[in-house]
Copies of this chain bind each other. A is one copy, B any other.
Amino acid sequence: MNRTIEVTGRRRGLHEITSMVAEVVRDAGLDEALCTVFVRHTSAGVCIQENADPSARRDMEAWFDRIAPEGESWYTHVDEGRDDMPSHLKAILTGTAVSIPVVEGRLALGTWQGLYLCEFRNRPSTRRVVVMVR
């Protein structure tokens, strides 16, 4: 089965969506499956990272800003705002999709793993994320 999750009203940053995805897995009712989470945008991504200490997430966001900075003089793709080209580059770093095994009916995440929607635009519109369990 598959379901499209809509994430609205989130600003730039990493936003945990583990429970939204876990709900789709629960509704799929499969004992063993593969769960794929796919972001239908090119200026946002998805990643699995530490869900305990918020400082890890904060440093991650700072690192993204250093590795793909705003306002580089050599950018030519500049019409959609200063945060646009960096957001495409950051989406390359995280990737657009991640697949997580479902074992005994649950996402096989490790103890400290959370699933994050990585929002790289300052003022994004609604983000659509396809969750497929099969």
Contact = CB atoms under 8 A, between A and B. Distances in A.
Nearest to A93: B92
Question: Which A-B residue pairs are the 10 nearest by beta carbons?
Answer: A40-B110, A55-B77, A101-B132, A48-B96, A56-B77, A55-B76, A42-B50, A101-B130, A59-B77, A108-B130
A99 interface: yes
Given A42-B112, A98-B97, A56 B88 contact: yes
Interface size class of A (residues with CB under 8 A): 35 or more
For this chain, the copies found in one complex come to 3
A98 B39 CA distance: 12
A41 B110 contact: yes
Given A55-B77, A88-B56, A101-B130, A108 B40 contact: yes
